Amino acid sequence: MTVRIGLIGAGRMGEVFAHHLAFSIPEADFAAVADANHEAVKRVAARYSAKRHYGDYVELLSQKDIDAVVIATPTNTHDKIIIDAANAGKHIFAEKPLALTLQGCDAAIAAVKAAGIKLQVGFMRRYDPAYLAAKQKIDAGVIGTPVMFKSVGRDPKRTSLEFARRVNSGGLIMDMGIHDFDLARWLMGTEVKRVFSEGDCLVFPELKDVDDIDNAVISLKFENGAVGAVDVSRNAVYGYDVRTEVMGSEGSLYIGKEQQIPLWVKTRAGITHDTVPYFMDRFGEAYAAEIKDFVACLESDKEPAVSGNDGRKATAIGVAATISFDEGRPVELGELET
């Protein structure tokens, strides 16, 4: 079976997925790409041999020979495009987050359910070999009962001011922290009960003009009593830095790496090594694996491992953590459901 896939979004993430659709997944036919940016959509179509390209994603959704879509559009558009794709009867792989609000998540999930199609949310770290191995060891009881979660997510440079606007990206805590929030509940095997966030604009004062910050720490309290912390930053000048530790009653697991090439240079001046440049370099294999799994689910008629409900729960933690930062207080996730 060949799954004919259309890509919606020809920006930075769109190119990542276009590459894997074109070169990494024999079972996928990269049928079309859509983006309002005419130069970008033509470039991606030509570079990755998409058969058709459109300036409006609605045109792509109207094509009856397309089985599924990958949504890699700006963050604040995800829920609307998911709803439109579901109404068009297309299976959906959507980049994170599912939506910036719980109302948006609920509307997207309802549309998917009503259409009877499959939805997978793009939490690619679950497909990274190191994180997968850690999850398997936790489930096997190697470190006993998980009691503490610590995660670091640091970008090597500031995002654009337009993207940083909370209305567009959700802000630092939602945009960067959502991967860590998903990992927290997945690795710990329990839900987050309460969050408390602190942060500020410490390096890039211009972020204040778009209601964003550049550094934050979010404390987590889990339903089973375990604790955790997530730190996110936009100023890791030394390179892309993503690490996670899970402490258990009988040991701990440390996931991550701080160098791209396994080479140490030792001279009189000291010992040096390179660092990971950016997320594509660190998680390229995981991006390919999550799309492969999505296609495999369509071929075998299985439900995706990362569901719309997973996307909603991660968004809920992000929303609560953002409220906590704004109001300077701990926020119970139960408050969001009242």
Query: How far from chain centre, in Å, is Cα 188?
Result: 18
**Angle at Cα 148 formed by Cα 142 and Cα 150, nearest 5°?**
105
Quick one: 188 and 333 in the same domain? Answer: yes
Residue 308 lies in a domain: no
Helix or strand (DSSP H, E) at 199: strand 192-200
pLDDT category at 261 given cuts 50, 70, 90 is: confident
Counting every residue written for the chain, the total comes to: 338
Residue 309 lies in a domain: no
pLDDT in tens, 71-87: 999 999 999 999 999 99
Query: Domain with 169 in it: what CATH number?
Result: 3.30.360.10
pLDDT in tens, 24-57: 999 999 999 999 999 999 999 999 999 999 999 9
Query: In terms of pLDDT, which residue wins out, 26 or 281?
Result: 26
pLDDT category at 259 given cuts 50, 70, 90 is: low
By the 10 Å C-beta count (0-12 exposed, 13-18 middle, 19+ buried), 46 is classed as: exposed
The whole-angstrom separation of Cα 299 and Cα 112 is 18
Quick one: 173 and 249 in the same domain? Answer: yes
Residue 133 lies in a domain: yes
- pLDDT above 70 coverage of the chain, percent: 99
The whole-angstrom separation of Cα 131 and Cα 135 is 6
Q: What tokens appear for 70 in the block?
A: 């990958």
Mean pLDDT of 116-124: 97
The whole-angstrom separation of Cα 92 and Cα 28 is 14
Residue 41 lies in a domain: yes
The whole-angstrom separation of Cα 119 and Cα 309 is 10
Q: Are 181 and 136 in contact (CB under 8 A)?
A: no
Quick one: 219 and 172 in the same domain? Answer: yes
Mean pLDDT of 109-116: 98
CA atoms within 13 Å, Cβ hemisphere of 19: 12
Confidence (pTM): 0.94
- Say how many domains are in the chain: 2
Residue 118 lies in a domain: yes
Question: Which range, of 205-214, 229-238, 257-266, 296-305, averages the lowest pLDDT?
Answer: 257-266
pLDDT category at 99 given cuts 50, 70, 90 is: very high
Quick one: 326 and 183 in the same domain? Answer: yes
Quick one: 49 and 170 in the same domain? Answer: no
* Domain that includes residue 152, residue range: 126-282+314-337
Quick one: 91 and 119 in the same domain? Answer: yes
The whole-angstrom separation of Cα 131 and Cα 185 is 13
Q: Are 101 and 319 in contact (CB under 8 A)?
A: yes
Quick one: 21 and 84 in the same domain? Answer: yes
Q: What tokens appear for 187 in the block?
A: 């690795």
Quick one: 278 and 153 in the same domain? Answer: yes
- Closest to 27 (Cα-Cα) out of 61, 67, 63: 67
Query: Domain with 33 in it: what CATH number?
Result: 3.40.50.720
Q: What tokens appear for 125 in the block?
A: 């770290």
- Report whether pLDDT(117) > 80: yes
Residue 94 lies in a domain: yes
Quick one: 260 and 159 in the same domain? Answer: yes
Mean pLDDT of 284-311: 95
Q: What tokens appear for 68 in the block?
A: 């599924």
Residue 85 lies in a domain: yes
Q: Are 181 and 333 in contact (CB under 8 A)?
A: no
Mean pLDDT of 192-220: 97
Mean pLDDT of 201-213: 96
Quick one: 274 and 289 in the same domain? Answer: no
Residue 19 lies in a domain: yes
Quick one: 168 and 253 in the same domain? Answer: yes
- Report whether pLDDT(218) > 90: yes
Quick one: 50 and 105 in the same domain? Answer: yes
